[in-house]
Amino acid sequence: MIAKYGISERLACRVLGQHRSTQRKIPKQPEDEAALTADIIALATQYGRYGYRRITALLRDAGWLVNKQRVERIWRREGLKVPSKQPKKGRLWLNDGSCIRLRPKYANHVWSYDFVEDRTHDGRKFRMLNIIDEFTRECLAIRVNRKLKAVDVIDVLSDLFILRGIPGQIRSDSGSEFVAKAVREWIKAVGSKTAYIEPGSPWENGYCESFNSKLRDELLSGEIFYTLEEAKVIIESWRRHYNTVRPHSSLGYRPPAPEVVVHASKLAPRPWS
């Protein structure tokens, strides 16, 4: 009609009652759109608490050459979203409004540790002692047992000190297990320093609290543990995933301690080969 009668596209669409967009070129989707969408949905299903940015990092690790804008477009088109979280907790402040914060400057500078509680299917409680390196965000250990006391704290820390060396500072809560005289004296004896929430001098334990919330949000809230042994295996598996696979936003969406793959040619020859 436009060519035959010599009228404009705008007038022709107005006469026919069509929107002008119907005359535009039909957009073509990339050939890999369906495969990418399927992978995004699969990852969103597997990691229900991850947003599109963290999903983008996982896709890149899997070999996709994709930016977060494209992932976000597909994310919104498919109606994917992260469920609402609980309200955030307030900070700990001094009377003068300032906040004490010992900031880690390098790996093994500041460790922090705390307890988290959960229950097995029969209703019995069990506790987790979580220890993290605040600089690298790596979870160094999670000790799981029905009861954890000061001697358990010393036991876990001693193993880590042998494997990783003695940290400069150890940050912890003011629970009885952490302020126990035996723990304080032992930490001092091996050459490290402690940081506690002392009366009138609170400090933040934000790194460990952040880790604890991720542990509960991404694992504990969605798992039923029928036995303590099952809890130990699943929690340790999640810890390894957290360290080596899970993208961490504060680390540029890289895992805290990614697995290192050494090529066979770089390995020293075996004496019997």
pLDDT tens digits, 228-268:
999 999 999 999 999 999 998 888 888 998 865 444 444 44
Give the pLDDT of residue 2: 67
229-232: long-range pairs with CB below 8 Å, 24+: 231/118, 231/120, 231/126, 231/144, 232/144
Do 247 and 254 touch, CB atoms closer than 8 A? yes
To the question of domain 110-245 being in CATH 3.30.420.10, the answer is yes
Provide the β-strand partners of residue 119.
125
| Contact between residue 7 and residue 1 where contact means Cβ atoms under 8 Å apart | yes
Q: Supply the pLDDT for residue 96.
A: 40
Domain-wise residue ranges, the chain: 1-29, 31-83, 110-245
**Among the listed residues 166, 178, 87, the one whose alpha carbon sits nearest the alpha carbon of residue 133:** 166
Report residue 207: phi and psi, to 5°.
Answer: -65, -45
Least confident range of 140-144, 156-160, 163-167, 200-204? 200-204
Distance of CA 87 to the CA centre of its chain: 18
Query: Average pLDDT of 128-148?
Result: 94
The beta-strand segments (E) located in 52-195 are 110-119, 125-133, 139-145, 169-172, 193-195
Write down the residue that tokens 């699943």 correspond to: 234
Residue 27 has pLDDT above 90, yes or no: no
How far, in Å, CA of 157 to CA of 14, rounded? 77
The residue type at 91: R
Decide: residue 175, CB within 10 A, 0-12 exposed, 13-18 middle, 19+ buried. Answer: middle
- SS3 call for 140: strand
What confidence score (pLDDT) does residue 85 get?
61
Residue 89 banded pLDDT, cuts 50, 70, 90: very low
Name the strands in the sheet holding 125-133, side by side, starting at the edge strand that comes first in the sequence. 139-145, 125-133, 110-119, 169-172, 193-195
Question: Do the beta carbons of residue 183 and residue 173 sit within 8 Å?
Answer: no
State the pLDDT at residue 268.
42
Q: For 165-212, how does the pLDDT look when each residue is reduced to its tens digit (9 = 90+)? A: 999 988 887 666 666 778 888 888 988 887 665 444 434 577 888 899
CA 170 to chain centre: 21
